[in-house]
Amino acid sequence: MSDSLSISKYQLPPLEKPSLPSLTANEQFLRFYLEPDTTALLPIQELIEVLTVPVGQIVPIAYLPAWVMGVYNWRGEILWMVDLGHLLGLTPWYQQEISASTHRAVVLQVCDSDNINNQMLGLVVNRVEDIEWCNPDVIKSPASSTLTPELEPFLRGYTLKSNGEMLLLLDGEAILSSMPK
């Protein structure tokens, strides 16, 4: 059985907003880390839960792209599990020097405009860090010459922290649409 951490707005402890000039324009993003040295964000409203999944409970499926790890029984439903770093052109989890017996995964859910067609996907990441407040107006579009071909379709933009750290803002819908049909 896996441990899970729900990120529903009703189950999270209240967060203190940073003291910025325009707090109403800020949105919440889940901040997580991918190997090597990549910090990324996904909007909280696209996420359901953060899971700890035992390695042996992801069942591989043959003849799929290498970044599709397999399926996992989540709450009695089949949840496709994707190595997000590998999908984005980073180091695949199986090539990393990690001897952990569990994976950290974020459950991504994107709904259509009528909230009828919900699609879910488990995204395996190296570690979940925290919740980041970010003003969407400060998200910058990167120059296409600086992007890898694997990352470009999944990137909405980036933002720089005051310490110079770059945070990539990913597009959940693009990640979901990358799954084989």
Structure tokens at 146: 């600086």
Give dist(CA 128, CA 30) in Å, integer. 8
pLDDT of res. 74: 95
Residue type, 4: S
24 vs 181, higher pLDDT: 181
Listed by start position, the domains of the chain span 3-9+23-177
Give dist(CA 6, CA 139) in Å, integer. 27
* DSSP3 helix / strand / coil % (the chain, rounded to 5): 15, 45, 40
Is CATH 3.40.50.720 correct for 3-9+23-177?
Answer: no
Query: pTM to 2 decimals?
Result: 0.81
23 vs 50, higher pLDDT: 50
- Please give the average per-residue pLDDT across 3-19, as a whole number: 44
Residue 144 pLDDT level (bands cut at 50, 70, 90): low
Give dist(CA 149, CA 97) in Å, integer. 25
DSSP structure class, residue 116: -
User: 93-97, 155-159, 176-180 — which is least confidently predicted?
Assistant: 93-97
Which residues neighbour 151 within 8 Å (Cβ) at sequence distance 6 or greater?
Answer: 88, 89, 168
- Coil, strand or helix: which one is 180? coil
- Please give the average per-residue pLDDT across 101-127, as a whole number: 86
